[in-house]
A and B are shown apart, each in its own frame.
Chain A
Amino acid sequence: MTNQWKLKEIVLMAVLGVVFGIIYLGFFLIGQGFRNVLAPFGLGQFGYEIIFGIWFIVSIIAAYIIRKPGVAFTSELIAGVVQVLLGTTAGPQLILSAAIQGAGAELAFALTRWKDYRLRILVFAGMGAAIFSFVWNLYSAGNIALAPWLLTSMLVVRLISGALLAGVLGKWMSDQLAKTGVLRGYALGKERRKQREKGAI
């Protein structure tokens, strides 16, 4: 798999991993804040669910830019490793959680044989990651002990969050980046140039 990737694509994933590794750690605090605000109302569980989608965004951005098999999975994995390097309190297990989320996003791209990168597929990828991470959290966070109605509503919130914060926001950020011209050497930038050339004729 790594032989299909150019070094610059791997370093791109790593840099995205570093940037979003920091953002993820920041969002960990925001989630904690939401949670403390919502806890007195008995809704503490939703503190993280609302923003859960942000943790999948690097998969969507990297896959949308590079457009090769395995990118969604590996970029999330790298972001997980970077967070461990930064000293996350979630510990080395975070690498495993990241791999599971990445696999969920990768699944959506795999179903299109890594050919389709329209918004709806990106949204599906975000939701795929949401489902995978939700099942994993049933075990890892002990969520399996919670009441079914609560779990269902948590899943719905997480799916929406995955669709919006990962799928839609991820596409928007990548498109903004492509506009600056830094992605000329990658699949997304090349596609944009083709579109422009077509428009010019």
Chain B
Amino acid sequence: MISSINPAMKAVTIMVPGLLLSFTFDVFTPLVYFIFILIITFTLADIRPMTWLKIFSPFVLVALTSAWMATLYANQTFSYGNVLFTIWGVDITEGSLMTGISLGLRSLCFVALSLLFALTTDSTKFMLSLMQQFKLPPKITFGILAGYRFLPVFRSEYQILKQAHRIRGADREPGIKGRIKQFRRYAIPLLANGLRKSERVAIAMESKGFTGDKERTHYHQMSIQTKDWLFFILFAGMLAITIAVSYSLGYLNIFGRQF
């Protein structure tokens, strides 16, 4: 279902709450929106719950650390309310705890939104719709697609390089020094090969008639339809509703100011 939404439109839709949630510093707003994203993920998108959980679960720990950090080091504007407890000589107030939890929940929202995008979007289609809907120049679009296709080649070249070094007895040395040495040994040859190929690909594209002209026809026609707009309205509308409810219940907090 969600995999059939126009990818460029999907990216914009995901970006709206991704940007606007950063205004809020209360617990209620990101929590409700997070639940909304979860419902969408497991009803409208064909994402396998196990796959999703595997990628998502480490970020719970990440969210916990960032929540803890913000709680410890919240500044005056954000550490309103009574002191709850003291740790390492730092007073933890209601406000700083709220700010911490809010930041943690917010980052979980961002990860869930990103997964909703990443797990339902085809990379080639995303580039094509960026070109056709958002007027990204064809030179850049096809340049990126050509470069992106090198990915498997890089992987196999890295393997060859590794084997070539091992067969000559230049194995990895232990410790940080060895790591830096290894980085030098791999990074430059890999990049040099990549750049050589990029020059060749560019020449091949031009010799086959690619001019980068913006007035061109497309084999894969991408379009924005009603359902794409509905998808956008669903996410933007739910954000507006969440903020409105949070405001009417008196929870809404924007940059440390209670509304």
Using known A-B contacts A84-B126, A85-B148, A139-B22, determine if residue A5 contacts B78 with beta carbons closer than 8 Å.
no
**New A-B contacts (15) at CB < 8 Å, excluding given A74-B140, A173-B191, A180-B188:** A14-B140, A14-B146, A18-B147, A39-B68, A42-B69, A44-B66, A44-B68, A44-B69, A89-B59, A89-B111, A91-B14, A92-B14, A142-B102, A145-B78, A176-B188
Contacting residues, chain B, for A112 (C-beta < 8 A)? none
B154 within 8 A of A: yes
Chain B residues engaging chain A, CB cutoff 8 angstroms: 11-12, 14-15, 18-19, 22, 25, 55, 59, 61-62, 65-66, 68-70, 72-75, 77-78, 88, 99, 102-103, 106, 110-111, 113-115, 117-119, 123, 126-127, 130, 137, 139-140, 143-144, 146-148, 150-151, 154, 187-192, 194-199, 201-203, 205-206, 210, 212, 255-256
Q: Could you tell me the distance between the alpha carbons of A84 and B148 in the complex, rounded to whole angstroms?
A: 11
Contacting residues, chain B, for A180 (C-beta < 8 A)? 188-189, 192
**Within the complex, which residue of B18, B118, B195 is in contact with A87, where a contact is CB–CB below 8 Å?**
B118
Chain A residues engaging chain B, CB cutoff 8 angstroms: 2, 5-8, 10-19, 22, 32, 35-36, 39, 42, 44-45, 74, 78, 81-82, 84-85, 87-93, 95-96, 139-142, 144-148, 150, 173, 176-177, 180, 182-183, 185
Highest count of chain B CB atoms <10 Å: which of A12, A91, A176, A183 = A91
**5 tightest A-B CB contacts, nearest first:** A91-B114, A14-B147, A8-B202, A92-B11, A87-B118
* A2, B137: Cβ atoms closer than 8 Å: yes
* A82, B147: Cβ atoms closer than 8 Å: yes
* B201, A11: Cβ atoms closer than 8 Å: yes
* A142, B15: Cβ atoms closer than 8 Å: no
* B69, A39: Cβ atoms closer than 8 Å: yes
27 A-B residue pairs with Cβ-Cβ distance under 8 Å, sorted by A, are A7-B202, A7-B210, A10-B140, A12-B198, A14-B140, A14-B143, A15-B147, A18-B150, A19-B190, A22-B154, A32-B62, A35-B65, A39-B65, A45-B73, A78-B143, A81-B144, A84-B11, A85-B144, A88-B118, A92-B18, A93-B18, A145-B74, A145-B77, A145-B78, A148-B75, A173-B188, A180-B189
* A18, B117: Cβ atoms closer than 8 Å: no
Using known A-B contacts A2-B140, A74-B140, determine if residue A8 contacts B198 with beta carbons closer than 8 Å.
yes
* B103, A145: Cβ atoms closer than 8 Å: yes
* B194, A11: Cβ atoms closer than 8 Å: no
Using known A-B contacts A36-B65, A81-B144, A182-B192, determine if residue A15 contacts B70 with beta carbons closer than 8 Å.
no
Contacting residues, chain A, for B212 (C-beta < 8 A)? 2, 7
Q: Could you tell me the distance between the alpha carbons of A8 and B197 in the complex, rounded to whole angstroms?
A: 10
Using known A-B contacts A11-B143, A11-B147, determine if residue A19 contacts B191 with beta carbons closer than 8 Å.
yes
Q: Could you tell me the distance between the alpha carbons of A90 and B118 in the complex, rounded to whole angstroms?
A: 10
Contacting residues, chain B, for A93 (C-beta < 8 A)? 14-15, 18-19, 110
Contacting residues, chain A, for B119 (C-beta < 8 A)? 87
Q: Could you tell me the distance between the alpha carbons of A64 and B82 in the complex, rounded to whole angstroms?
A: 54
* A82, B148: Cβ atoms closer than 8 Å: yes
Using known A-B contacts A91-B117, A93-B110, determine if residue A11 contacts B146 with beta carbons closer than 8 Å.
yes
Highest count of chain A CB atoms <10 Å: which of B11, B197, B201, B202 = B202
* B18, A91: Cβ atoms closer than 8 Å: yes
* B151, A18: Cβ atoms closer than 8 Å: yes
Contacting residues, chain A, for B61 (C-beta < 8 A)? 36
Quote the shortest CB–CB distance from B191 to chain A (angstroms).
Answer: 6
Contacting residues, chain A, for B144 (C-beta < 8 A)? 14, 17, 78, 81-82, 85
Quote the shortest CB–CB distance from A44 to chain B (angstroms).
Answer: 5
* A142, B143: Cβ atoms closer than 8 Å: no
Highest count of chain A CB atoms <10 Å: which of B55, B148, B256 = B148
Quote the shortest CB–CB distance from A57 to chain B (angstroms).
Answer: 11
B76 to chain A: closest residue by CB: A147
* A19, B114: Cβ atoms closer than 8 Å: no
* A89, B118: Cβ atoms closer than 8 Å: yes
B24 to chain A: closest residue by CB: A142
Quote the shortest CB–CB distance from B65 to chain A (angstroms).
Answer: 5
Q: Could you tell me the distance between the alpha carbons of A169 and B129 in the complex, rounded to whole angstroms?
A: 35
Contacting residues, chain A, for B111 (C-beta < 8 A)? 89, 91
